[in-house]
């Protein structure tokens, strides 16, 4: 994550609803295999980092490649993956960005099988508003039960 900036205060109820709607669309794009639409939810210079991966992905192109590779791996294994974001906390910063923290749960369902819980993690995003849309500038996903 980039350096923290001073908090300006809580987001408005309208902004909070917009942010939750953004997350619902954003993750549905990924889960439905629409990698380009999911990637469009990041800024051009966006960063996607995970504590289980040594180097973060930087830029939409690298993030798109990561998404396509993940979806291809799931398809090879005959799995459908679903992400659920909840307990979203959002705080506006003095620089106009919004910092969010949330829980993310991931479920997997094998074709013809029963869905199972796969992973729990926390997420921390820096969101920016461009042309009336929320975009992820920086995302850090921390997998639970990892060192």
Q: Are strands 133-143 and 42-50 parallel, antiparallel or unpaired?
A: parallel
- Residue 13 within any structural domain of the chain: yes
Q: What is the pLDDT of residue 5?
A: 60
**Number of structural domains found in the chain:** 1
**Tens of pLDDT, residues 12-31:** 999 999 999 999 999 999 99
Q: CATH code at 58?
A: 3.10.450.50
Q: What is the pLDDT of residue 8?
A: 78
- Residue 83 within any structural domain of the chain: yes
**Tens of pLDDT, residues 132-145:** 999 999 999 999 98
Residue 46: partners with Cβ closer than 8 Å, 6 or more residues away: 58, 59, 60, 63, 135, 136, 137, 138, 139
pTM (two decimals): 0.91
CA dihedral 140, 62, 64, 99 (to 10 degrees): 30
Q: Over the chain, what is the mean pLDDT?
A: 94
Q: What is the pLDDT of residue 47?
A: 98
- Can you list the residues of the chain whose pLDDT is less than 70? 1-5, 147
- Residue 91 within any structural domain of the chain: yes
Domain limits at 137?
9-142
- Residue 2 within any structural domain of the chain: no
CA dihedral 54, 81, 85, 94 (to 10 degrees): 40
């Amino acid at each position: 994550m980039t350096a923290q900036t001073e908090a300006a205060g809580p987001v408005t109820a309208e902004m909070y609803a917009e942010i939750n709607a953004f997350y619902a669309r954003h993750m549905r794009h990924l889960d439905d295999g629409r990698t380009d639409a999911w990637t469009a939810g990041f800024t051009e210079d966006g960063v996607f980092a995970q504590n289980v991966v040594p180097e973060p992905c930087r830029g939409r192109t690298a993030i798109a490649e990561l998404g396509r590779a993940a979806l291809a791996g799931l398809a090879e294994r005959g799995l459908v993956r679903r992400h659920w974001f909840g307990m979203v906390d959002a705080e506006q910063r003095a620089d106009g960005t919004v910092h969010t923290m949330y829980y993310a749960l991931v479920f997997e369902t094998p074709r013809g099988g029963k869905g199972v819980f796969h992973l729990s993690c926390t997420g921390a995003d820096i969101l920016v508003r461009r042309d009336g849309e929320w975009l992820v500038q920086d995302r850090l996903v921390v997998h639970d039960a990892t060192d």
